[in-house]
Every structure is written in structure tokens, then in C-alpha cells.
């Protein structure tokens, strides 16, 4: 998976650096080898070249052009790389932007590590994120009859929805991090993907995709914690893993009720398609989703790739020593 494109208007920046809005011609033109050759030297080619260009043997027209460009650069607004600008939505050519937020057990021994999220969509208010990995296994609801007859398949009333917004949220996020999340309908701030999301190829997912040609689609893999631990002694309490011939991925819930059996909820299957299973199934995976508020977001490190994801923190959080704040203006840098 790739992060933001290399020519993105919001690239990953080094500590304390700023993104300047430069004239397109000046930004694209390579610096010439001859220091007397003119306008290209407006790029960073050294004080000596600039001195020659301004005061050396060049035509008045070229000198006026250079001075004009310098005036434009100096008067252009300085644009800080704020967190909202760095979180780019999925694009077929470049893949996903990745960010870490919160923490949860990841290894077979239960070692707590940052949760890796992929950015699916971004609008003016929020970014739609889902966990890259299946974090644990759990039934959607303990009673099939109640799910069908009382809840009418409403995910917002299920035991799993309650668990995500209480036990899981309290373990995974600090109070400040929870303040960065926005609610989704009546599901709270931590919820599941919709069936329409996991089948949507415009966000890099889709059913029954060719693994080699189209990528994993809706398939997802569980953490070692989910597969080998999951805080359960019995195998059926741990995340199920499909056979190797299917890619050894695992099934996970989506928040929709089955249309063919009211006691079932929809879930992913071995061939990368959607199916359904009874809601009391214990070894079905949970792949959380969240809405991340773009206002007040700070990115304190990373490049937005799967291997080096951004780190998201609340805007008011104090910067830790040794971290690069990519979302604050230069005046806020130490």
C-alpha cells in the first residue's frame, strides 16, 4: 500500500519546515548549470548565483523578471501542513493514507501497540477510517431471537456496539483521543463498516477481487492477538482463519442484518465475498471504524504510508520531545 502521492500538494514535511506557494514555472524549472543563464536560478542554487543574477552581467529584462519572481515568493502566503491536509482519501493510483491513533493488544502475548487505520474517505468535516487489521473476535449479539424480534437487526442496539463504545473505547483511546472522534448515526463513536463500504471499489475495497490483479478488496487479516489469544481459552473464542488457499485472511462483521435470515448479520467470507452468519458466532472478527474530526487535528510524525504512518494527536496535546509537529505553524515550533 502506498501513502500520499509524491506530487501531493500536502507532502510529509521535515520538522519545522513549511510549504510555500511558489509560482508553478519557478517550482518546475530545473536550476541551470550556467549562473548567468537567467530565471531558473531563482531556485535554491546558492547566494553567489543569486548575487550574480541580481548584480552581474545580465540583461535588465532578466533582472526585472527575477526581482518580480522574488517579490511574488516573498508575498505568497505560507501554508502550514495541517493535519487535515495530510489525511488524503483513497486514490487508485496512490492507495491509502495511513495513520495511528489509540492502542490495543496486537501480539500473541498481548503486547499493546498503536492501532493502524486506513483513510477511506475525507470530507470537509471528517475522515472516515477503518482499522487495517481485525483486532479481536466477538459475537455481535448473544441472542439470535432478540436480535431478530426485538432489535430488528439494529446494530446500534447490539451488545457488540455497546462493547465497542464502552470497554473497547476505554481501553483503546484516552479521553482526549475520544474527543477527536465524531459519532455515526446511533452507533456511537466506534462502529463497524457498512456492507456498502466493503463492496465499494472506489475506496479500494470490493467483493471477489482478484488478489494478484486487484488487491485484497474487502479481505482483512487478524492480529496475532486476535488469532492466538483474544483473551479466550477455547479455540472457538479466537478469530477464525480461512485456509491458505484462500489467502489465510479472516472473516469480520459488517453492521447490516442479513436479508435472508433475520437471526444473522452480514460478514465477509473466504472468497472475498459477503455472506451472513448467526450473530452469536464467537470467532467472527471485529474491524472497527471511526469518524476522525479534521478540526483540531495534529500530525506529529510519519509519512502516511503503511510502513511509516502518520501519528494523530489532539491539537491541544503538548508536543513530546523528539517529535516533529507537522500541523503547527513555524511560530509554534520550539
Could you tell me if residue 113 is inside a domain? yes
**What is the average pLDDT across 252-276?**
97
Specify the pLDDT at position 84: 74
Domain hosting 153: range is: 84-291
Are 98 and 306 in contact by the 8 Å Cβ rule? The answer is yes
pLDDT at 272 over 90: yes
Specify whether 40 is located in the same domain as 127: no
Specify the pLDDT at position 216: 94
Specify whether 23 is located in the same domain as 168: no
**Count of the separate structural domains present in the chain:** 2
Could you tell me if residue 185 is inside a domain? yes
> What's the pTM?
0.73
Specify whether 48 is located in the same domain as 124: no
| Better-predicted residue by pLDDT, 178 or 64 | 178
SS3 21: coil
Q: What is the dihedral of CA 203, 205, 206, 212, to 10 degrees?
A: 130
Q: What is the phi/psi pair of residue 188, to 5°?
A: 85, -160
Checking phi first, is residue 38 left (phi over 0); if not, alpha (psi -120 to 50) or beta? left
Domain boundary among 258, 276, 291: 291
Specify the pLDDT at position 213: 82
Could you tell me if residue 169 is inside a domain? yes
Distance separating alpha carbons of residues 267 and 260, to the nearest angstrom = 13
pLDDT at 317 over 80: no
Contacts (Cβ under 8 Å, ≥6 apart) of 165: 187, 188, 189, 190
Question: Could you tell me the CA-to-CA distances from 247 to 198, 267, 323 in Å, in that order?
Answer: 18, 17, 37
Could you tell me if residue 319 is inside a domain? no
Q: At what angle do helices 60-75 and 47-55 cross, to 10 degrees?
A: 130
Closest among 63, 61, 43 to 52, alpha carbons compared:
63
Could you tell me if residue 50 is inside a domain? yes
Q: What is the pLDDT of residues 170-226, one digit of tens each?
A: 999 999 999 999 999 999 999 999 999 999 999 999 998 888 888 899 999 999 999
Give residue 59's pLDDT band: very low, low, confident or very high (50, 70, 90).
Answer: low
Specify whether 66 is located in the same domain as 109: no
Specify the pLDDT at position 211: 85
Domain boundary among 51, 79, 107: 79
Specify the pLDDT at position 85: 87
Read off the C-alpha cell for 114: 498503536
The alpha-helical segments, DSSP class H, found in the chain are 24-28, 47-55, 60-75, 83-86, 144-149, 159-163, 169-172, 175-178, 195-198, 211-214, 224
**What is the average pLDDT across 302-315?**
96
Could you tell me if residue 200 is inside a domain? yes
The two beta strands, 288-293 and 191-192, are antiparallel
Could you tell me if residue 297 is inside a domain? no
Closest among 291, 262, 290, 288 to 163, alpha carbons compared:
288
Could you tell me if residue 26 is inside a domain? yes
Domain boundary among 291, 309, 329: 291
Amino acid at each position: 500500500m502506498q501513502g500520499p502521492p509524491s506530487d501531493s500538494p500536502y507532502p510529509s514535511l521535515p520538522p519545522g519546515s513549511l510549504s510555500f506557494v511558489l509560482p508553478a514555472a519557478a517550482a518546475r524549472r530545473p536550476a541551470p548549470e550556467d549562473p548567468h543563464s537567467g530565471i531558473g536560478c531563482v531556485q535554491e542554487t546558492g547566494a553567489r548565483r543569486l548575487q550574480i543574477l541580481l548584480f552581474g552581467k545580465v540583461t535588465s529584462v532578466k533582472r526585472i523578471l527575477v526581482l518580480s519572481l522574488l517579490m511574488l515568493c516573498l508575498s505568497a502566503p505560507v501554508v502550514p501542513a495541517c493535519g487535515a491536509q495530510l489525511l488524503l482519501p483513497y486514490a487508485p493510483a496512490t492507495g491509502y493514507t495511513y495513520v495511528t491513533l489509540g492502542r490495543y493488544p496486537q501480539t500473541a502475548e498481548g503486547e499493546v501497540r498503536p492501532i493502524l487505520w486506513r483513510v477511506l474517505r475525507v470530507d470537509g468535516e471528517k475522515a472516515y477510517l477503518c482499522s487495517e487489521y481485525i483486532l479481536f473476535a466477538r459475537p455481535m449479539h448473544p441472542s439470535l431471537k432478540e436480535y431478530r424480534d426485538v432489535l430488528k437487526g439494529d446494530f446500534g442496539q447490539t451488545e457488540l456496539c455497546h462493547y465497542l463504545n464502552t470497554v473497547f473505547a476505554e481501553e483503546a483511546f484516552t479521553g482526549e483521543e475520544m474527543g477527536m472522534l465524531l459519532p455515526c448515526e446511533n452507533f456511537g463513536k466506534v462502529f463497524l463498516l457498512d456492507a456498502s463500504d466493503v463492496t465499494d471499489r472506489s475506496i479500494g475495497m470490493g467483493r471477489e477481487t482478484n488478489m494478484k490483479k486487484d488487491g485484497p478488496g474487502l479481505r482483512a487479516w487478524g492480529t496475532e492477538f486476535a488469532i492466538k489469544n483474544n483473551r479466550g481459552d477455547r479455540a472457538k473464542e479466537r478469530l477464525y482463519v480461512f485456509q491458505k488457499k484462500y489467502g489465510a485472511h479472516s472473516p469480520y462483521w459488517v453492521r447490516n442484518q442479513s436479508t435472508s435470515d433475520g437471526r444473522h448479520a452480514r460478514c465477509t467470507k473466504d472468497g472475498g465475498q459477503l455472506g451472513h452468519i448467526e450473530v452469536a458466532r464467537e470467532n467472527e472478527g471485529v474491524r472497527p471504524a471511526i469518524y476522525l474530526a479534521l478540526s483540531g487535528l495534529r500530525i506529529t510524525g510519519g509519512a502516511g504510508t503503511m510502513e511509516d504512518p502518520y501519528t494523530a494527536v489532539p491539537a491541544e496535546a503538548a508536543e513530546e520531545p523528539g517529535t516533529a509537529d507537522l500541523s503547527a505553524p513555524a511560530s509554534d515550533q520550539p
